[in-house]
Chain A
Amino acid sequence: MTPLPPKDTPTRIPGRRTAGWEVVALGLAVVWPFVASPYGAGLVTEVFIFAIAAMSLDLLMGYGGLVSFGHAAFFGAGAYATVLLTMKLGWSAWAGLGAGLAVSGLVAGVIGYLCVRMAGVAFFMLTLAFAQLLFSAAMKWRWLTGGSDGIGGMARPSLLGLPLADSRTMYFVGLVAFVLSLMALRRVINSPFGHALVGLRENEARMRALGYPASRVKLAAFVIAGVFAGLGGGLYAIYNGFVSPDALTFGLSGTFLLMVVLGGAGSLMGPAIGAGIFLLMKQFVSAHTDHWLLIVGLIFIACVMFFRGGVHGLIERLRTGGRA
């Protein structure tokens, strides 16, 4: 009898446990704000925030096979809820953020309920349409959202007596949120639910014949992904002290998709790396040329055509000597 579970069973469910290089990366991340300028710390803070949203999209895309073109809807919902509750109702930013998670989960539940029964093109057109709907609402309801100007002037709160106005504190809030999100999403992926999600990606007809309620599993994945995207959005609002319809644009949904594909779908850590590469390129390449998106586009095409596993797949292949 073979021991269970087989160690290298090709279940296509990577990210089972913490890899050595991840521990090294975490160590570097802890040191970074002490060696970098506040500007450098802020840049990586943004990476953490976008990484949370990219990983949440990866749960849908990489594991569920649900390519959503409207992921900004959940990010934006979290961001708007956080700012609105703080600025209009006078809640603390943390209460606003907490409620923002519920709001983005609810938005994901409603959108998911209407989308998960669709397949293929209908599915992604519908996710795109709902995100556009929220974008239009944010533009039109000026009395509430400030329209295209957005709402600003939100001061960064304090946590345990430490003001987030300090770039290092803000950085560590982002880092902790990122690490906790990664651990939570990994746990979901390794759970019976996560395995069911992968099964649906691989063969929905068989899963249903086995007794899995396909639509309900996908809907639950939507809500989980929505909550984490909302966490990213809420933190982004706190980081900027500001929210505008930019947080709901199709462009942002596309950016999340790019991060996932660039880093490697179905690996969680890959899309986080993708978020880092994207934001750093935006920062540094755009300083030299206006055509930086063209370069990102070319890399994207290369990833789709030649490196299906993205950057993460490349790392894994190097680590395992080409067998992965």
Chain B
Amino acid sequence: MSEATPLLRLEHVNKAFGSLVVTRDVSLDLAAGQRHVIIGPNGAGKTSLINQIGGQLQPDSGRILLDGRDVTRLPPEARAQRGLARTFQKNTLFQRLSTFENVRLGVQARFGSIFDLASRALGRDDINDRAQDILARLRLNHLADKRVSSLSYGDQRQLEVAVALAGDPRILLLDEPTSGLSPAETGQLVDLVRTLPAELGVLMIEHDMEVVFSLADRVTVLYYGEVLASGLPDDVAGNERVREVYLGASI
């Protein structure tokens, strides 16, 4: 991809539920290797924005581009096949399947043939190895055979990321990955984000300011669906309006 074409671009995206505007004229770019964090008070429309990028929600107007190609009307699965992966704020896993199978399904989605009716799913070593590799990288391999519903909440939170990484995406959307985690678990997750492939573009929603400023190379502040400020972390932190409406006196 040329420098001029960002991995992900949002152009004047709008979304309203009746009279409630959740996204107002949002435009933003995500480049390869970027760690772009979206912050904003509750109800600022952060998850709605992620859902529109992921395809779970249709914008009312505006365009969403992956590698310069308009995907605004494409379903989630088509966007995923173009290298977009996401996690969910609320764990969205295969609770009754094994940890291994959760990741394996993610690998199979992009490296196996979905409509293969004749071969054995568990007989594909290339897919098994990839799944095992991701579990090892996220230090979840000791849980491979465990049913997901028996995993701790923190491990499930890590697995959310593992499943999203399984398809070897180029864009990763993380919807509040640290929500509900203890300080120690949060630290683990921050380490995990740090060790993500360098060329991966990451767009992340986060509440914890310490996490935000330790990871972000770009910060966007959403306020009532609108972009209040967007730029380098220090510039955003120093922005008067941001300090007024969101950060208050805490920074």
Contacts from A to B (Cβ < 8 Å): 1-2, 4-6, 8-12, 187-188, 190-196, 198-199, 202-203, 205-214, 216-217, 220, 224
Residues of B within 8 A of A2 (CB): 132, 141, 144-145
Query: Bound state CA distance, A206 and B75, in angstroms?
Result: 13
Q: A190-B122, A209-B86 are in contact. Are A202 and B95 (CB under 8 A)?
A: yes
Interface centre among A8, A193, A220 (most CB of B within 10 A): A193
Q: Which single member of A4, A199, A213 contacts B105 (CB below 8 Å)? A: A199
Determine whether the beta carbon of B120 is less than 8 Å from that of A190: yes
Determine whether the beta carbon of B122 is less than 8 Å from that of A202: no
Query: Bound state CA distance, A141 and B163, in angstroms?
Result: 53
Q: A188-B117, A192-B114, A220-B115 are in contact. Are A12 and B92 (CB under 8 A)?
A: no
Q: 12 A-B residue contacts at CB 8 Å?
A: A4-B129, A6-B145, A9-B145, A12-B97, A192-B119, A193-B117, A196-B114, A209-B77, A210-B77, A210-B166, A211-B110, A211-B167
Residues of A within 8 A of B146 (CB): 10
Task: Name B146-194 residues within 8 Å CB distance of A.
Answer: 146-147, 163, 166-167
Residues of A within 8 A of B125 (CB): 4
Determine whether the beta carbon of A217 is less than 8 Å from that of B98: no
Residue of B nearest to A213 (CB): B77
Answer yes or no: B219 CB below 8 A from chain A CBs: no
Determine whether the beta carbon of A1 is less than 8 Å from that of B141: yes
Q: Which single member of B85, B113, B114, B132 contacts A209 (CB below 8 Å)? A: B85
Residues of B within 8 A of A198 (CB): 97
Q: Which single member of B95, B106, B118 contacts A191 (CB below 8 Å)? A: B118
Residues of B within 8 A of A194 (CB): 117, 121
Determine whether the beta carbon of B76 is less than 8 Å from that of A208: yes
Interface centre among A9, A198, A211, A213 (most CB of B within 10 A): A211
Query: Bound state CA distance, A220 and B117, in angstroms?
Result: 10
Determine whether the beta carbon of B114 is less than 8 Å from that of A10: no
Q: A5-B128, A8-B145 are in contact. Are A195 and B76 (CB under 8 A)?
A: no
Residues of B within 8 A of A11 (CB): 97-98, 101
Q: Which single member of A187, A188, A210 contacts B167 (CB below 8 Å)? A: A210
Residues of A within 8 A of B104 (CB): 195
Residues of B within 8 A of A199 (CB): 94, 97, 105
Query: Bound state CA distance, A187 and B120, in angstroms?
Result: 7
Answer yes or no: B108 CB below 8 A from chain A CBs: yes
Residue of B nearest to A187 (CB): B118
Residues of A within 8 A of B163 (CB): 206, 210
Determine whether the beta carbon of B132 is less than 8 Å from that of A1: yes
Answer yes or no: B223 CB below 8 A from chain A CBs: no
Query: Bound state CA distance, A11 and B128, in angstroms?
Result: 14
Query: Bound state CA distance, A196 and B104, in angstroms?
Result: 10
Q: Which single member of B105, B113, B144 contacts A207 (CB below 8 Å)? A: B105
Determine whether the beta carbon of A191 is less than 8 Å from that of B132: no
